Structure 1
Amino acid sequence: MTQDFWLERWTHGEIGFHQPQGQPLLQKHWPALDLVPASRILVPLCGKSQDMVWLAERGHRVTGIELSDIAARDFFAESGLDYRRISRGPFMAYAGERIEILVGDLFDLAPAELARFEGFYDRAALVALPEDTRRAYVDHLMSGLRRGATGLLITLAYDTSLMTGPPFSVDDEDVGELYGRYAHVDLMAEQRGLAADDPLRQRGLTDARDSVYRIVRR
């Protein structure tokens, strides 16, 4: 997917992927990562996810990376949080007290910046990327993160004969191949099924599997 594809989705409000109430699997499994409250957490391709508020309420300092400034503005407006706009290298930073969103290209985030984070949360990034870009994304992210950095990854797997992404189908084998070169990968939980009102049903899916992984940088 090109950057223009995602920017157009935000411009036209085509954001069926957004979960206004946050991701229950994050809330259930994040505590098992045992990250201290003051940890700095990276949320790649964050959109306007309310998961960032949930993480900040746990005491974390949260940095989201997002292409669309519409998403960043909407996040702070809908969350009722104050922010300042600050130019920061290749990014425009929307900086709040415990949450900031860097608007720009994730691949412009330098290794020295990635090394600041003790943890990460990925619900929307890996599954949003086609196969060739997924490898580049994981290589960039994991090569920059410090040893011991711990993340929660949530993926979606489905019958690709019924639907094409995004979100793309990413299974256990994909995760192991992508992350296993850099990190310890543990499958924490799986959840099958689609809610009756899930937008993916309108695209032909009748079933899917969410998988939750703990990723620890070696």
Structure 2
Amino acid sequence: MDEEFWQARWRENRTGFHEDRPHEMLLGHFDRLGLSAGDAVFVPLCGKSVDLDWLLDRGLRVTGVEFSRQAVEEVFARLALTPQIRDAGNTICFSAGALQIFVGDFFDLTGSMLRRTDAVYDRAALVALPGHARPGYASRLADLTGAARQLLISLDYDQSQMDGPPFSVPEREIRDLYENGFDVELLSRREIAGPLAQRCDGNEEAWLLDPRSASITA
């Protein structure tokens, strides 16, 4: 992943991708993850998303990973949590109560660094990656999380309208990336809205990736 690109976005406050309320598709489809209080959810490239707050309010244990230390510090400040900070391999781990966020590169995480993962919420990670990085990301994510069920938010638009990120990841590519180990179900589709709608026309989609039993036991 291009760490300097994302660090620059945060330094220059170019964070139009950040929203001040939980994502509607998370609210609408959360129940499909089958989670209960005490379960653990992993949020890759979490930024300072208020989705983290919402998940914590459901009684979940939440783990994220994010390049920007500034973003992570803002999350803990917003939640009035004083984190313990420790080195964790090539990353730095901020943790307090049911929340832990690793500052660093997703690809530097190992399975032993994560808490048990019952589900993945990928709102902003897959669409942040250029095409050549997506297969490695999808495979690594499944390895790290034991092929946990995923709620994936994606975008489908004419890539010639703008340079990503966020990138367009159409249905065919999602199926190519995940159908080896998951049943892939389109949950909903809506027109792109908000600031991104000023740059491109297309759809935002919610997908449920349900692990096949063979991939879990393999």
Is 1:36 aligned to residue 36 of structure 2? yes
Q: 1:202 to 1:189 in 2, by over 3 A?
A: closer
Alignment partner of 1:213 out of 194, 197, 207: 207
Match in the other structure for 2:156: 157
2:159 aligned counterpart, secondary structure: coil
How do residues 126-205 of structure 1 correspond to structure 2 at under 5 angstroms?
126-147=126-147, 149-194=148-193, 198-203=194-199, 205=200
In 1, are the aligned partners of 2:88 and 2:113 still within 8 Å (CA)? no
Displacement of 1:69 in angstroms is 0.4
Deviations 1:81-133 (A, max 9, x none): 33221222222111121111110111111134458211110010000000001
Which consecutive unaligned segments of at least 5 residues does structure 2 have? 213-218
| Aligned partner letter, 2:209 | I
How do residues 117-132 of structure 1 correspond to structure 2 at under 5 angstroms?
117-132=117-132
Runs of 4+ residues deviating >6 angstroms: none
- Identity, in percent, stands at 39
Aligned alpha-carbon RMSD (Å): 1.6
Q: 1:91 to 1:18 in 2, by over 3 A?
A: same
Q: How many residues get paired?
A: 212
Displacement of 1:170 in angstroms is 0.9
In 2, are the aligned partners of 1:115 and 1:146 still within 8 Å (CA)? no
Deviations 1:180-211 (A, max 9, x none): 112121111111242xxx222443x2x22111
2:161 aligned counterpart, secondary structure: coil
Displacement of 1:55 in angstroms is 0.7
> Normalising to structure 2: TM-score of the pair?
0.91
Matches of 1:124 and 1:47, distance apart in 2: 9
Matches of 1:189 and 1:146, distance apart in 2: 26
> Normalising to structure 1: TM-score of the pair?
0.91
Which consecutive unaligned segments of at least 5 residues does structure 1 have? none
1:141 aligned counterpart, secondary structure: helix
Report which stretch shifted further, 74-83 or 103-112.
Answer: 74-83
Match in the other structure for 1:9: 9
Matches of 2:184 and 2:111, distance apart in 1: 21
